[in-house]
Amino acid sequence: MSQIVVEKKVLNENQKLAAELRERFRQHKILVVNIISSPGSGKTTLLERTLERMDKTKRVALLTGDLQTENDAKRLAKWGFPAKQIITGGTCHLDAKMIDKHLADWKLEDLDILIIENVGNLVCPTSYDLGEHHKIVILSVTEGEDKPLKYPSIFVKSDLMILSKVDLLPYLNFDAELAKQNARTVHPGIEIIETSNKGDGLEQWMAWLEAKLAAVKAGDAVSA
């Protein structure tokens, strides 16, 4: 059996389980977002700041993927929301089977928002549907403006791009407008929010989540 055939079989099996997860999320009216970026872009820091500001009555849970260690889950759990680490053991992405397994002892009826922090990688996670409503890609200003052109698939599939660490722009040779232009070249309809380590853009990000949650609760959401 060729490698291509095996890969197609794996993706088909993943798609089937992702569809089952999506239906479960729809039934329980849970907003599910899948956050993808390169390593070091600020995914976990953004989530820490999000949870810090989140209404503690909100029923939010997090699944965070990494090759090794439970460091990210420990960082996120301190804000009082349930968080689990998915250790992939070398696999460069999360898949639907991993999500299903780690949701097994959580009651979906007790959740409103499920945030999935994928493994740091702009390529592998793109191909794996996790049953989410929205993919979100983070691009930091410490990377290159041409990332959307080099890795177009994830930008095409993402509904939102977060341009992170914009407080560092005075110290870097990074053209933020060009980065946004490149993202819109490959995906004209992509939404863009700029955030910083100082907290800029967090209100806009939180409002985006609230709007998407409201759509899910109203039954108006369109899944990825």
Residue 222 lies in a domain: no
Residue 97 lies in a domain: yes
Question: What is the pLDDT averaged over residues 23-37?
Answer: 97
Is residue 166 within 8 A of residue 145, CB to CB? The reply is no
Is residue 149 within 8 A of residue 179, CB to CB? The reply is no
Which of 119, 69, 73 lies closest to 92 in space, CA to CA?
119
Residue 89 lies in a domain: yes
* CA–CA gap between residue 158 and residue 209 (Å, rounded): 14
Question: What is the pLDDT averaged over residues 168-186?
Answer: 98
In the sheet with 60-66, reading across from the earlier edge strand, the strands are 83-87, 60-66, 113-117, 31-37, 134-140, 160-164, 191-194
Tens-digit pLDDT profile for residues 127-158: 999 999 999 999 999 999 999 999 999 999 99
C-beta atoms surrounding 177 within 10 Å? 8
Q: Is the pLDDT of residue 68 over 80?
A: no
- Range with lowest mean pLDDT among 6-15, 126-135, 181-190: 6-15
Question: What is the pLDDT averaged over residues 4-26?
Answer: 84
Q: Is the pLDDT of residue 166 over 90?
A: yes
Q: Is the pLDDT of residue 16 over 50?
A: yes
Residue 207 lies in a domain: yes
Question: What is the pLDDT averaged over residues 152-168?
Answer: 98
Total number of domains constituting the chain: 1
Can you give the pLDDT at residue 1? 45
- Range with lowest mean pLDDT among 71-80, 123-132, 187-196: 71-80
β-bridge mates for residue 134, sequence order:
33
Question: What is the pLDDT averaged over residues 184-198?
Answer: 96
Residue 30 lies in a domain: yes
C-alpha separations of 27 from 34, 58, 217, 218, 223 in Å: 19, 18, 10, 12, 13
CATH number for the domain spanning 70: value is 3.40.50.300
Residue 223 lies in a domain: no
Structural domain containing residue 93: 3-217
Q: Is the pLDDT of residue 24 over 50?
A: yes
Which residues does 196 contact at the CB level (< 8 Å), separation at least 6?
Answer: 164, 165, 166, 167, 168
Question: What is the pLDDT averaged over residues 148-172?
Answer: 97
* CA–CA gap between residue 94 and residue 13 (Å, rounded): 14
**Sign of the alpha-carbon dihedral angle for 194, 44, 68, 91:** negative
**Distance, CA of 10 to chain centre:** 22
* CA–CA gap between residue 126 and residue 120 (Å, rounded): 11
Can you give the pLDDT at residue 151? 97
pTM of the prediction? 0.93
Above pLDDT 90, what percent of the chain?
A: 83
